[in-house]
Structure 1
């Protein structure tokens, strides 16, 4: 997928579960394909809303509809539909840090309390962490955003709940007793290197563990979308909307 928008085959793959665009007396009320092209331009370019090219629509209308989609969970549903095609021979989980632009700070109070902004401060400044679960091909299944200083293990259960794979691949940051015990009950092979301070060192398939690089490659593809590589949005939900949009684009590619 390039910056010019969706190809015909990509549009045909998702058009059935894109809301809106129903016909009125004077024709379709909205052009769903043009709207998605506008969002993809925003995600790819990292530009401001007002920089949206006129050929892609009025930026104010596109912005309002994008926020409605966030509230409705439309992008979550689209990603969930695509994830039905996942190869669950293996499940991989990991996280990546995204630096926040200075304009991302200072949001007004919003529903969700302090977690609504999802910003953390560390040595590198303000940041957000994207937690991801991917299938055996490295394609995204679930994406969760938190403040940058949050530990990886805090999102692990939400990432794996309801996903049944033959094996789970993750780095030693996920070597926690409660997660290991949960996975063992489902019969999932645990491919997680044990931490050095474990009294009982657990064996794992070191050769299979090397395949975990696929989720690292997914993060590399994700950050080719400039609106994801740097966070500009003040609210976490709005930023994660672009993250999920980029994940959808990766599925369609």
Structure 2
């Protein structure tokens, strides 16, 4: 099994939230603890979903369950409960990917915006009449 799986105490904390959002559809429940471990593995490593180790189950099933829980608001409920319980130290901080900036070379292909601006200037500065472009022919 993978390292750093959830302890029994951690699972006891998360289990009540997961059981609360579970919709009774007559199916046999999956191993939600293993699915949650798989989701945490993806979050910890930053790997694509398709690289999820098989020991967590099919990557598509784990992703589908992640989406269901996201749409049900599970993650917000868990974060609120963690904040209220003071289990997590105040010094622990999260990095939101919306504030992480890409390298300037990730903005486009060679030339990119600079070539487009140069082409726009050239079009804008073209003469607007035949006389303007043919000075020797006009009086």
| Structures share fold, TM-score greater than 0.5 | yes
- RMSD over aligned Cα, in angstroms? 3.4
Residue 64 (str. 1) matches residue 64 (str. 2): yes
Q: Which has the higher contact order (CA 8 A, sep 6+)?
A: 1
2:30 & 2:23 partners in 1: Cα distance? 4
Unaligned runs of 5+ in 2: 102-139
1:37 & 1:4 partners in 2: Cα distance? 9
The answer to whether the Cα contact below 8 Å between 1:23 and 1:29 also exists between their aligned partners in 2 is: no
1:82 & 1:35 partners in 2: Cα distance? 20
Q: Which has the higher helix share?
A: 2
Aligned residues: 97
Secondary structure at the aligned position of 2:6 is classed as coil
2:98 & 2:6 partners in 1: Cα distance? 19
Unaligned runs of 5+ in 1: 88-134, 139-213, 232-253
The Cα of 1:54 is off from its aligned counterpart by 0.6
Aligned to 2:82: 82
2:23 & 2:34 partners in 1: Cα distance? 11
The answer to whether the Cα contact below 8 Å between 1:22 and 1:29 also exists between their aligned partners in 2 is: no
1:228 & 1:44 partners in 2: Cα distance? 17
Which structure has the larger Rg?
2
Aligned to 1:39: 39
Cα gap change, 1:17/1:49 in structure 2, threshold over 3 Å: closer, same or farther? same
The answer to whether the Cα contact below 8 Å between 1:17 and 1:78 also exists between their aligned partners in 2 is: yes
TM-score of the two chains, using structure 1 as the length reference: 0.33
1:31 & 1:21 partners in 2: Cα distance? 15
The Cα of 1:23 is off from its aligned counterpart by 9.7
